[in-house]
Amino acid sequence: MADAEDLPAGHFRLPEQGDLVGEITTVEADKEDTLIDIGHAHGIGYRAMVRANPEVSVWYPGEGTEVTIPGRFILPDAPREDIVINVAEMRLYYYPPAEDGEPRTVQTYPLGVGRQNWETPLGNTTITQMVKNPAWYPPESIRQERAEAGNPLPEVVPAGPDNPLGTRKMRLGIPGYLIHGTNKPEGVGMRVSHGCVRMLPDDVETLFAQVSVGTRVRIINESLKLGWADGKLHVQAYPYLDEQQGTTIQRITEALSEVQAALEGKEYQVDYARLKEVVEVPSGIPVALKAPPEPQEPPQPELRPTPFYDQLDLQFAYPGFHNHLAYTGEPYESAR
C-alpha cells in the first residue's frame, strides 16, 4: 500500500473524517521562473496563484522570492465519485474507484473554463466519446467570431502543436462541450474558453487514461465551500463569476445562511469577523472559522484558615490588633 507521500502532486487520500485535502506550502522562485510556471509545476492555475501571491510579479517573481502554493482544498459539495468540475474554483476533482484493499483517493487539476457570454454549462452529464490526437472542427459561431477579428479559421484544424484541443478530448453529453487539452497552457486557471473545459497537457493525458465512456461528470458553480477538519469548520471562497456579481452584503448574507446550515444541531462558536473578511476578499485559501476562546476570569485568591501563630504575628506587627480581634480558639478565614 502506497504512503500518502508517494502519491503524485494533486493526488490525495480521501480523509476518513472531514472534507479537506492537501496543504499550503511555500517555494523559492528560480531566476527564470514565472508565477505561471511555478503554479503549473504544483498543479495550480493562474488566478489561484495570483490571489495567493498578490505582491509577487506574474512574469518576474525574482530569484529567491518566496511564493505561496495554495494547495489545500475543501472538497466540493457533491458526491465523491467520478468527475466533479467546480467552475467558480476552476478545478476538476476526479474520484477514481478504489482498488481492493487500497484507500480511496481524489485527484484535482486546474482548469480553464468558459469566459463571459461563453459560459461553461452547469449540470450532470457523462463522457460520451474519447479521442486521442483529435482534429478540431471549429463551430460556425467561433469561425464567425474569429473572422470578424481578422483571424479566420479553416474548417478543420488537424492534430498537432497548433490544435487548441491538445492531445486528448473527451466529449460530454451536453451538446458542443468537451474536456480537452490545450496548446496554450498559460490560459489554464483563467476564463478563456468558449465554454469547453481546458486542462494542462500532462493532466489531460493522466485523466484520459483513467476514465471511460459513461464516466459521470458533474459541473457545479460553488464559490463558497465549507468543510470540516480537526473539529473546525473551514471556509474557502472564490470570486463570483463576472456575470453573477452581487453586492458584498448579498455575499455575506449568503455565507451566513450556508454557515448556519452547516452548523445546524451543533454547538460551535463561529468567528464571524473572519467570515466577513474571507467573503470580502476571497483568496481561495481555506480559513478556519473557530471563534477564539471566551476570556477567562482572573484567578481568585484562595481562602484558607489562618493559624493561631499567624494571628500572634499580626498582634506584634499591628499594636492594638487584639482590641479588634479576640482569639476564640477557632481559625478565621483570610485571603492570601
Per the listing, cell 473539529 goes with: 231
Mean pLDDT of 32-58: 96
For residues 273 and 261, state if they share a domain.
Answer: yes
DSSP state of 134: -
Listed range (193-197, 287-291, 297-301, 302-306) with the worst mean pLDDT: 302-306
For residues 46 and 59, state if they share a domain.
Answer: yes
In a domain, 114, yes or no: yes
Exactly one of 11, 40, 196, 234 is catalytic; name it.
196
In a domain, 5, yes or no: no
Distance CA 12, CA 6 (A): 10
Q: Is the pLDDT of residue 292 over 80?
A: no
Active site residue 196: yes
Assign 39 a pLDDT band (cuts: 50, 70, 90): very high
- Out of 174, 203, 220, a domain closes at 220
Distance CA 42, CA 103 (A): 23
In a domain, 15, yes or no: no
Listed range (14-28, 99-113, 141-155) with the worst mean pLDDT: 141-155
Output the pLDDT for position 242. 72
Q: Is the pLDDT of residue 324 over 50?
A: no
Distance CA 51, CA 70 (A): 9
Output the pLDDT for position 8. 86
**Residue 9 contacts residue 42 (beta carbons within 8 Å):** yes
Q: What is the pLDDT of residues 81-96, one digit of tens each?
A: 999 999 999 999 999 9
**Residue 212 contacts residue 82 (beta carbons within 8 Å):** no
For residues 97 and 212, state if they share a domain.
Answer: yes
pTM of the predicted model, to two decimals? 0.84
For residues 64 and 192, state if they share a domain.
Answer: no
pLDDT higher at 3 or 14: 14
Average pLDDT of the chain, as a whole number: 87
For residues 213 and 238, state if they share a domain.
Answer: no
Q: What is the pLDDT of residues 136-149, one digit of tens each?
A: 998 888 888 888 88
Output the pLDDT for position 329. 44
**Domain range for 322:** 303-335
Q: What is the pLDDT of residues 162-171, one digit of tens each?
A: 999 999 999 9
In a domain, 184, yes or no: yes
Active site residue 324: no
Output the pLDDT for position 7. 84
Output the pLDDT for position 139. 84
For residues 203 and 98, state if they share a domain.
Answer: yes
Exactly one of 11, 40, 180, 194 is catalytic; name it.
180
In a domain, 14, yes or no: no
Q: Which residues contact 43 (CB under 8 A, 6 or more apart)?
A: 9, 10, 71, 108, 109, 110, 203
For residues 45 and 31, state if they share a domain.
Answer: yes
Count of C-beta atoms within a 10 Å radius of residue 239: 16
- For the chain, how many residues are written? 336
For residues 69 and 85, state if they share a domain.
Answer: no
In a domain, 13, yes or no: no
